[in-house]
Amino acid sequence: MGIKNEGFILMSPKDNCATALENISKEQEININDKIITINQEIPMGHKFAVKDIHEGDIIKKYGEIIGIATKDIKMGDWIHTHNIRSHYLEVIDK
Amino acid sequence: MSEEFLGYQRAKGKVGIRNKIAIISSVVCVNHIAEQIAKEIENSVAITHPLGCGQFGPDFSYTLRTLVGLGSNPNIYGVIVVGLGCENLTSKLIANNIKRAKKPVEFFNMQDVKGGSKAAVEKGIKIGKMLANEAKELQQEPFDFSNLILGLECGGSDSISGITANPTVGIISDKIIELGGTSILPEFTEWIGTEHLLIQRATNKKVADKIHLTLNNFLENTMKTGIDFRGIQPTPGNIEGGLTTIEEKSLGTIAKAGKAPIMGVLKYSEAPKGKGLWLMIEPGLDVESMTGLAAAGAQAIIMTTGRGSPCGNPVTPVIKICGNPKTCDWMASNIDVDASKIITENKDIKVIADTLWRKLKETCNGGKTKAEILGFEDIAIWRCTAAPFQIFRS
């Protein structure tokens, strides 16, 4: 398994997650802007993975904008989905 | 300006990219008459609907504004409004309002024609043929894109629309606005979760307040009926496809509107009051939405579709762009621009945006879209008095 340069998209340089454009297997190494990331779980197409370490309570960004808050620590290369992200918008609006 | 297209000059400085005759029914009862007339007139469209009588308050105004807007759209050379004679939305009222656009408009009621529906069809065909002959005399002339109003639609979205086709359309919307033109983003239910960003893009406080109030009133009123609209989004299918939160989904939707400042919020079927990017209050059914865009004066619509929609509009050409490789393959006869190469060949969004721009120019020059070739001429008019939309009194 070589290092992949494609099959994912980072919508903005401000983002801490990227989106898989194909199914990416566990332990696959990918190169995002000359940074090598090892994928920790299988990422289905259309799903996201962390491109840096994210701590519980941190903001998660896609399109350079907030898409939610981490509900637990997320390591670089981890799958980001409903098990570890919650809406930031709903939290703010319900206050 | 170097970018130009060949269009049709209309009164009051408007420009059309089509030169059609519209046969509008004022009420559902005469839909068949309008359709029979349109069949016999070259380059004509029937604009029919299930409404026009027994309507009151905002519903009446919405139907009137929409039918007037469709007839007034610069893609239409001339109009025949056919009425029944006893309906509350009269052919005369519609026709008189369209006349403000200073184009040929004729109207009559079936009940005023001796010989019943058959005679009414004959009368309509006679007038229609005259209009069609006049329309043929008109030559196309070059115009710049400041004359264009572009509708930004999405339908049958999937989880990759927001990272492929939608941002591609955003680039084109920004380009139109840079060239002095106008674009309209409808479907306010899909702005929810991004209002703070839309508000930041508002050109003044009044516009910001309007965006805030539109969404706040909607959410509060839906809550009163026991529906938490925010809890419905994203849908289980969206989540399976990779979306996680309401704001992530809406960010994908509003990506169609690029980065331009927001000039204002329009009522359903209301024409923009100036150039630049406008929002339109409309609930998110594609055909209703595109009808409202055409009635607002949009001469072209770009529709992103992930799962695949065939829909079109009788007045305004609809260009389909799709980011899903399977849909592009299975529905090739319906899709104008294949954006799936962003995924399959790692193509840059900017490359696909160039292709979309060429398709838009070709369409403005008279080139037919897939929906036009296949004859999709869909009309639906938003009926806003259905709870919880009562807040949008016109």
CA distance A81 to chain B (A): 6
Bridge partners (DSSP) listed for residue B318: B301
- Band (pLDDT 50/70/90 cuts) for residue A1 is low
Q: For residue B246, which residues of chain A lie inside 8 Å, CB to CB?
A: 87, 89-90
Query: What average pLDDT does the segment B153-167 reach?
Result: 88
- Give the span between the Cα atoms of B380 and B314, in whole angstroms: 11
Which one of B164, B219, B248, B341 makes the best mutation probe of the A interface by having the most chain A beta carbons within 10 Å?
Answer: B248
Instruction: Tell me what pLDDT residue B391 has.
Output: 55
Amino acid residing at B186: P
Instruction: Tell me what pLDDT residue B385 has.
Output: 64
Q: Identify the residue with better confidence: B178 or B227.
A: B178
Token pair of B74 as six digits: 């610069």
Single out the residue of A89, A88, A8, A6 nearest to residue A49, CA to CA.
A8
Instruction: Tell me what pLDDT residue B285 has.
Output: 86
For the stretch B72-103, pLDDT in tens is 999 999 999 999 999 999 999 999 999 999 99
Using the predicted structure, report yes or no on whether residue B394 has a pLDDT greater than 50: no
Using the predicted structure, report yes or no on whether residue B231 has a pLDDT greater than 80: no
- Ranges of beta strands (E only) in chain B are 4-9, 15-16, 20-25, 44-47, 76-83, 105-109, 141-144, 149-154, 182-185, 262-266, 276-280, 300-304, 318-322, 337-338
Token pair of B246 as six digits: 């309401």
Positive or negative, the CA dihedral B126, B129, B135, B136 is negative
Strands A65-70 and A59-62 turn out to be antiparallel
> Which of A71-75, A86-90, B146-150 shows the lowest mean pLDDT across its residues?
A86-90
Instruction: Tell me what pLDDT residue B307 has.
Output: 85
The stretches of B257-324 forming alpha helices (DSSP H) are 286-295
Instruction: Tell me what pLDDT residue B14 has.
Output: 98
Q: What is the DSSP string of B49-101?
A: -S-SSS--HHHHHHHHHHHHHHHHSTTEEEEEEEE-SS-SS-HHHHHHHHGGG
A4 touches chain B (CB under 8 A): no
Single pTM value for the model? 0.94
The stretches of A2-95 forming alpha helices (DSSP H) are 88-93
Instruction: Tell me what pLDDT residue B366 has.
Output: 97
Domain parsing of chain B, residue ranges: 20-137, 144-374
Looking at every residue in chain B, the average pLDDT score rounds to: 93
- Measured CA to CA in angstroms, residue B30 lies from B49, B64, B268, B335 at distances of 10, 16, 25, 33
Closest residue in A to B194 (Cα–Cα): A89
> Structurally, what CATH architecture does the domain formed by B20-137 represent?
3-Layer(aba) Sandwich (3.40)
What share of chain B has pLDDT > 90, as a percent?
A: 79
CB B67 within 8 A of CB B41: no
CATH T-level topology, domain A8-93: 2.30.130
Token pair of A82 as six digits: 């409903």
User: Burial level of B79, CB count in 10 A (0-12/13-18/19+)?
Assistant: buried
Chain A, 19 to 58: residues with Cβ < 8 Å from chain B are 19-22, 44-48
- Give the span between the Cα atoms of B127 and B137, in whole angstroms: 16
- Band (pLDDT 50/70/90 cuts) for residue A93 is low
